[in-house]
Structure 1
């Protein structure tokens, strides 16, 4: 079976409109997943920066904050 095709039984192809909707749906899912991963990385970096600044502040000011 060629890559990217779906079939119910060997030799029986699925409706081409379904194929197109399936491809669009998969592309949207991949896009959404990539956006989610970028968001998670951004939030993790922001949290790391906040914790690093807090630790640096505590060390510099001896806990007098």
Structure 2
């Protein structure tokens, strides 16, 4: 098998795997949030507040 064909085959395999994960995460995310855009924004905001508090205290905890 030539190097170009091997590169093409592995690239297609990786991209198809990434696409499958993207589709799975997208459908799961949509199911969890019921298609509402406010839920993810609230969760990201909460995560940001928690991360900020963690950075202020340091990572020794």
For normalisation by structure 1, the TM-score amounts to 0.52
Q: Which has the higher helix share?
A: 2
- C-alpha RMSD of the superposition: 1.3
For normalisation by structure 2, the TM-score amounts to 0.55
Q: Which has the higher strand share?
A: 1
> What residue number does 1:48 align with?
20
Gaps of 5+ in 2: 38-61
Gaps of 5+ in 1: 1-26
Relative CO higher for 1 or 2, CA cutoff 8 Å, sep ≥ 6?
A: 1
Deviant stretches of 4+, over 4 Å: none
Q: How many residues align?
A: 37
